[in-house]
Structure 1
């Protein structure tokens, strides 16, 4: 058993870390305040090929895997981006690049992957609906066949990055849930041309005001007979549930990597403050009441990192990784939140000042306990599948 990172992942860690190191907390605070995408960092990632790590070499990528993507995301988050890093590696590198690489036809790969690798094409992912949050089986967005096309109608919510994306990886029902046998049948995943649908007036969206992660908008999306060619189906019609899990598991693994990096970042900010702040003649970090909680968080982050790497390795190896992906997400999100909360407490009243980055990291860390899957759903999965306890929902 070898716990050393492969040389490819070490190179990614160092390369992305060097980019992240150029941008201080003031930069990330400005992006968050101005609610704008970190375009300067994104262009550096694209120019260096750090966003297309998992795209095959024949399409312009690096031919690596999810482990390298996870390491890149962790490095970017830990280097200063915090929660903003997750969307930079989820929206296009994972939702677009990984999904099309694994499930696209040869024609789809040839059409989409070179553009993603060149930084000329961006994607987003749409599954969540107002009445079907954690219960994806109950989505009602419906696609019906119309000759060589499908017509798609429905509504999605909390869709991040649609304002930037060229194409949307869209999860639909081609068999209603009430008629599907088994219930996991009848899912079909599409690649939808957002700009074309917008121009035709069949796709509209409305950003949702939100507490944090403001470097990317999250929107309500409305689909009204969006016309999509039949050759834009990812995988097979009605059999998209397998494609869906190959989207959701990497999403959870990458979210975990972002949590580990964000947690390390805010922990170091807290420790730096604890080393320097000395209101009673010695650094507050010398007090066990300050030091011990920070030390415990470090231990939690190390454990979360191990599970994140294991889950990514399993996915790259084509092995089952559902439980590992869930456990990685659960532990990393909680460790990141504990780190942000303890950093807030360590800074005392100064944490409430927007002149310090703690407030932004505090806001961004909290949502990770709810997305991309709520911790209660993760615990239910572990109870059922790992402990053989009765299904709770």
Structure 2
């Protein structure tokens, strides 16, 4: 067993860290406060080729894999971006680039991948609905064939990045859930031209006020007769569940990478404060009550990193990785949250001041325990599929 990162991943880590180092915590605080996409960072990443890592070389990408993409996300988060980093790598590099590279037709790859690699086209992903959150089987957004188009009606919620997306990777039902046999059949994944649908009034959206992660908006999306050409189906009609899992597993793996990087960054901030703060004549970090929780978080982050890399490695080899992706997401989210909580405690009363970035760490870390899948459902999946316990939901 070789636990050394490949040279490609080391180059990614160093290159992305160098970009992250150009932007301090005040920059990320301003982006969050202004609810502004970190455009400067995004352009630096695009120009360096760091967002096109997993796009095949023949389409202008780096020809690498999910492992390198996970390392890039982790490095950006650890370099200062924290929770904001996840969206920079999920929305377009993963939801658009990875999905089209693996499941797109030759025509779709030629149309979309070069533009994604060049930073000329942005994507978002839409699956969650008001009555179908964690239970994707019950989604009700319907796509009905009409000649050489599908006509889509439905509603989505918590769709991040739609306001800046050119195309949406949209999960629909072409067979209603009540009629589908088996229940996982009847899904069709479509590439929706967001700008066109907004212009003709068939797609509208409304941002949801959020506690944190405000560098990107998350919106309610309303689809009222959106017309999608039939040649923009990803995968096969009615058989989109296979495509869906090739979106959800990378999403969990990349979320885990973001958690590991965020946890490392927050831990670094907490330790720096613990080394400097000396109210009783010696640094508070010399006290085991402060030091031991921080040390435990470091151990948790290292374990989460190992599972994240393993899950990405498996996905790149098209091997089953559902358990590993879930475990990586579970452990990384918990470690990142513990890091934010201990950073808050280590800073004492000053953590409550918005002059310090700890409040942002706290807000951004908490949601990772709920998205992209709630930890309770991850535990239920592990209990059923890894331990052989009875199905609980």
**Do the structures match in fold with TM over 0.5?**
yes
Q: Write the distance in 2 (CA, Å) between the matches of 1:377 and 1:214.
A: 26
Q: With structure 2 as the length reference, what TM-score do the two structures score?
A: 1.00
* TM-superposed deviation, 1:236: 0.2
* Paired position in structure 2 for 1:391: 391
Write out aligned runs for 1:295-314 (5 A). Answer: 295-314=295-314
Q: Write the distance in 1 (CA, Å) between the matches of 2:96 and 2:226.
A: 20
* TM-superposed deviation, 1:310: 0.1
* TM-superposed deviation, 1:271: 0.3
1:367 aligns with 2:370: no
SS at match of 1:163: helix
Write out aligned runs for 1:32-71 (5 A). Answer: 32-71=32-71
* TM-superposed deviation, 1:319: 0.2
Q: With structure 1 as the length reference, what TM-score do the two structures score?
A: 1.00
* Paired position in structure 2 for 1:160: 160
Give the aligned length: 393
Stretches (4+) displaced over 6 A: none
1:185 aligns with 2:195: no
Q: Write the distance in 2 (CA, Å) between the matches of 1:182 and 1:329.
A: 28
* Paired position in structure 2 for 1:126: 126
1:76 aligns with 2:76: yes
SS at match of 2:360: helix
* Paired position in structure 1 for 2:316: 316
* TM-superposed deviation, 1:93: 0.1
Q: Write the distance in 1 (CA, Å) between the matches of 2:360 and 2:194.
A: 31
Q: Write the distance in 2 (CA, Å) between the matches of 1:105 and 1:133.
A: 29
Q: Write the distance in 2 (CA, Å) between the matches of 1:76 and 1:229.
A: 37
* Paired position in structure 1 for 2:145: 145
* Paired position in structure 2 for 1:244: 244
Write out aligned runs for 1:1-393 (5 A). Answer: 1-393=1-393
SS at match of 1:299: helix
* TM-superposed deviation, 1:197: 0.4
How far does the alpha carbon of each residue in 1:121-177 deviate from its partner, in whole angstroms, 9 at most, with x for none?
Answer: 000000000000000000000000000000000000000000000000000000000
Q: Write the distance in 1 (CA, Å) between the matches of 2:144 and 2:38.
A: 38
* TM-superposed deviation, 1:275: 0.2
Q: Write the distance in 1 (CA, Å) between the matches of 2:61 and 2:361.
A: 32
Note the residue ranges of structure 1 that are not aligned, 5 or more in a row: none
Q: Write the distance in 2 (CA, Å) between the matches of 1:357 and 1:72.
A: 22
SS at match of 2:343: helix
Cα RMSD after superposing both structures: 0.3
SS at match of 1:391: coil
Q: Write the distance in 2 (CA, Å) between the matches of 1:203 and 1:115.
A: 23
